[in-house]
Amino acid sequence: MNKILVCCFLLAVYCFSSCSSGKKEVVDERQNLLLHIDTLEKQMVNASSMELNKNIASQGITAYEEFAKKFPSDTISPEYLFRASDLSRALGDNAKSLDLLKKICSAYPNYRKTPDCIFLQGYYRQELFGDTAGARTFYNELIAKFPNHPFAGDAKAMIGMFGKTDEQVMREFEQKNAAPKKK
């Protein structure tokens, strides 16, 4: 009987310690990734020249994505994906930037920058890919989902500029500013 109790006790201790060490490993992995990201962020921009170090920025993108993949429910994950999108665009990988913005919108619809992500998808489609039809879709989505967001007005203005030359846009802007203001 005593042998059975001792075995049960040892089994319980083993299970408890293995469960605890698993949690500790996850916490350590998260902490190590956060420290790695922090180190990369501090090295990403040359303090004197204010130039982006492309190699470190690329490592930063990888680290941000790795964190979001390993810890998708962590509240910092959508922010890291947003930063990865911004860095991807800065490095000229516009398609990856768009993919990351799309991922944020689908995986984190309640993220505070989701309206920004929708607007940026439209803006990048328009400006970087010349896809006004795709841009219109995102602008209309933003207007429908977030009508009171500051970017909703910008989205309406962007839609209003489709098909117009720079000269036409400038003329309309000048006419609008020259018109008497309503009180």
* Phi and psi, residue 159, nearest 5°: -60, -40
Q: What is the pTM of this model?
A: 0.79
| Amino acid in the structure at residue 159 | I
H helix intervals, the chain: 2-43, 54-70, 77-90, 94-107, 114-129, 132-145, 150-161, 166-178
Q: Give 73's DSSP letter.
A: T
Residues with Cβ < 8 Å from 16, sequence gap 6 or more? none
Written as tens digits, the pLDDT of the chain (183 aa) is 455 543 444 344 444 444 444 556 667 999 999 999 999 999 999 888 999 999 999 999 999 999 999 999 999 999 999 999 999 999 999 999 999 999 999 999 999 999 999 999 999 999 999 999 999 999 999 999 999 999 999 999 999 888 877 787 788 778 877 766 655
